[in-house]
Structure 1
């Protein structure tokens, strides 16, 4: 079983990010931060030219649910979704919330994680 969910799309990285952001809004997830990793690495003098964006996303209601159950879950928040170019192919992916929350050993958190994961997978699928 994989720790991540990743899909491919024929869209550009920028278009995939735009479409993903819209799909996330429909599920009440906001993009807290759109981190252009490529630009940051180049700013620091690195020769990294691959388009690579990291979106930190959050649904406040879901964040409250998991934090009310276990405050240490904050280590996994906000959820991250990456959009990047892999040899000319745009990929969209995330670490699975069920994998991360499964590390706690709390069945209640696993149930919440399953729901969140289904919704985020749907957002990713709808944006590819």
Structure 2
């Protein structure tokens, strides 16, 4: 908690570096900050569900997303971990309020083939894909 945004950036970049080629880069990175640890994990997943290259409406969080993307791409991990300039395709951050004595952060990484779909499921078992 005492390291603030600087500590969050270091934590996220170190996590990506440690993962290396395992998540099959280039990757999408979802980051959840604040709240409780269970909420933070949910926020990290929800961040990945936002549209590609969408930025958080909070300008400070959007700036953090851009800074993290730049820092991750400067690691040189590159596609498939073979080196290069594109380690991440996008970074998205969601946040919740928390007590200053705690600052939970969760990271969720998806490979380049990240897919998503939406559906409404009705009580009769039918589904409408959106």
Taking structure 1 as the reference length, the TM-score comes to 0.29
Query: TM (normalized to structure 2)?
Result: 0.29
Give the number of the structure whose alpha-carbon radius of gyration is greater: 2
